[in-house]
Amino acid sequence: MVELRARFLSKSLPLSPRQYSILGHCLYTPDIVAFGSTYTVAAHCRVSTATMTRLSQQLGFPTYKQFKRVFQKQILDRSLQVSSGAVA
For range 15-32, the mean pLDDT: 93
The class that CATH gives domain 2-81 is mainly alpha
Q: How many helices (H) and strands (E) does the chain have?
A: 6, 0
Question: Is the separation of the CB atoms in 1 and 30 below 8 Å?
Answer: yes
Question: Is the separation of the CB atoms in 22 and 55 below 8 Å?
Answer: yes
pLDDT digits (tens, 9 = 90+) for 60-77: 999 999 999 999 998 888
Our CA angle for 24, 14, 52, nearest 5°, is 50
| Domain residue ranges of the chain, discontinuous segments joined by + | 2-81
Q: What is the mean pLDDT of the chain?
A: 88
Q: How confident is the model at residue 86 (pLDDT cuts 50, 70, 90)?
A: low
Our CA angle for 7, 10, 16, nearest 5°, is 80
pLDDT digits (tens, 9 = 90+) for 29-60: 999 999 999 999 999 999 999 999 999 999 99
